[in-house]
Amino acid sequence: MNIDALSASAVDGLMIGFIYGLAAMGLTLIFGVMRVINLAHGPVIAVGMFAVLLLGQNLGLNPYIALPIVLLLGLASGIAMYFIAVHRVINAPELTTLLATFSVNLMIVGIGTVLFTTSPRALSVDLGSVQAGAVTVLGTKAVAVLIAIVATAGLYYFLYRTRAGKSIRAVANNRSAAELMGIDSTWVLALSFGIGIALAMGSGSLLATMFSFTILSGTVYEVKSFIIVVLGGLGNPFGALLGGIVIGLLEGIATISPLPVGWVPVIEFGVFVLILLVRPTGLFGAR
C-alpha cells in the first residue's frame, strides 16, 4: 500500500464522513429528544436532493443559494410531519412510532416514484479542484465539508446558547420536569423534529452536489446513519459527526486495502451490532 494512495483515499473518506455525520445528526437529535427512530430518514434525505434539483431547474438557483431554502422547507415539513404522524403516538411503545414514521417513508417514496420515476438525476456543479501532491480535493466536497462544519457549530450554538435550544435539551433530559418548569413540550418536540428533518434534507442537498441520485438513494444513507448514530451514541448529535468521520475514513481506506470492498459492510454492521451489545451509549457517548 503506497502512501500517496493512502492519503488520497483517507482525505476523500474524511470529507465524505462529514456529510455522513451531518445526515446522522438529524436522526440522532430526534431520537435523543423524543426516543423516536425516524424510519423516514432516508426518503427525507432524498427529498433534500430533489428539492435542490427542482429549485435549480425551476428558479435557476445555485445549489448553495438554494440550501437555506431547503433547510427552511425541511424545518416546516418536519414540524408538519411531527403533528401529522408522531404527536398522537409520542408516548406509545417504540413499535408504534417506528411504524408511524415508516408509513411516512412509504408515502414519500410512493409519491416520489410517481413524480420523479426512479431514473438517476444529477446536478451539474463544478467548483474546480485543488491538487496537493497525490491528493485531489474537489471543490464541491470542500464546500460541503465547510457547510457541515458551520451547520454543526450552528447547532451547538443553538442547543447550548439559546433559550429554545436549552428547552430542547431540557425536554430531552426529562420531559415531565421540563413541563413543570413551564416549557411547552409539544412545541419543543415539534421544533426538534423539524430541525432533525432540516439537517437530513440539508445533507441530502449537499450529497446531490457530489453524486447522482434517485428517489430511492436515501436508503443507503439511512442505513449508514444508523451505524453512525450508534457509533456516536444514540441521541448525541456531536458524537454523530465523529461517527460519520470514522465511517467515512473506514470506507475511504477500505477502497485501497487488500480486503475486497464487498466485506466493508460486513465489518460496518458487525461493529454496529457489537457496539449496541457492549456499549449502547456509543463510543463517544457519556456513560
Partner 1 sequence: MSALRAPFFWVLLVVVGGVGLLPILTGSDGTREDVFLVLMLVILASSINIIMGYTGYVSFGHIVFFGLGGYVAFYLMLNHQVHFVAAALVGGIVSSLIAFLLGIPVLRLRGAYFALATIGINEVVRSFVTNFDPFGGATGMFFNYQVYDSYGGAKNALWFAYDAILIVALLCTITSLLIKKSKFGLGLLAIREDQDASQVLGIDPSRSKVVVYTISAFFPGLAGAIFFFKNGIIEPGPAFDLLRSIEALVMVMLGGYGTVAGPIVGAAVYEQLRAFLITNPTFSSLHLFVAGFLLLLIVLFVTNGLVGWLRQRTPQLRRYLE
Q: Does 146 bind partner 1 (CB under 8 A)?
A: no
Among 65-73, 175-183, 240-248, 275-283, the segment contacting partner 1 (CB under 8 A): 275-283
CB of 208 to partner 1, least distance (A): 22
Q: Does residue 38 contact residue 101 with C-beta atoms inside 8 Å?
A: yes
Q: Does 221 bind partner 1 (CB under 8 A)?
A: no
- Written as one letter, the residue type at 196 is G
Residues near 200 by beta carbon (within 8 Å), at least 6 away in sequence: 23, 26, 27, 41, 44, 45, 48, 74
Cβ neighbours, 10 Å, residue 270: 11
| DSSP string over 33-100 | HH----TTHHHHHHHHHHHHHHHHHHH---HHHHHHHHHHHHHHHHHHHIIIIIGGGTTS-HHHHHHH
Please identify which residue in 265, 279, 283, 284 interacts with partner 1, judged by CB under 8 A: 265
Length of the chain: 287
Among 10-18, 67-75, 152-160, 271-279, the segment contacting partner 1 (CB under 8 A): 271-279
121: phi then psi, degrees, rounded to nearest 5: -120, 160
Binding track, positions 39-78, relative to partner 1; x by CB under 8 A: ----------------------------------------
* Element holding 3 (H helix, E strand): helix 3-34
Q: Does 226 bind partner 1 (CB under 8 A)?
A: yes
Please identify which residue in 3, 58, 60, 114 interacts with partner 1, judged by CB under 8 A: 114
Q: Which three cell numbers stand for residue 110?
A: 410512493
Among 1-9, 179-187, 196-204, 264-272, the segment contacting partner 1 (CB under 8 A): 264-272
Please identify which residue in 57, 62, 91, 113 interacts with partner 1, judged by CB under 8 A: 113
Please identify which residue in 35, 121, 166, 169 interacts with partner 1, judged by CB under 8 A: 35
Please identify which residue in 161, 262, 286, 287 interacts with partner 1, judged by CB under 8 A: 262
CB of 273 to partner 1, least distance (A): 4
| Of the candidates 173, 225, 232, 178, the residue with the CA atom closest to the CA atom of residue 35 | 173
Q: Which three cell numbers stand for residue 120?
A: 438517476
For the four alpha carbons of 40, 46, 49 and 54, in that order, the dihedral sign comes to negative
Among 152-160, 170-178, 226-234, 247-255, the segment contacting partner 1 (CB under 8 A): 226-234
- List residues near partner 1 by CB under 8 A: 31, 35, 37, 84-85, 88-89, 92-96, 98-100, 102-107, 109-111, 113-114, 223, 226-227, 230, 234, 260, 262-263, 265-266, 269-270, 272-273, 276-277, 280
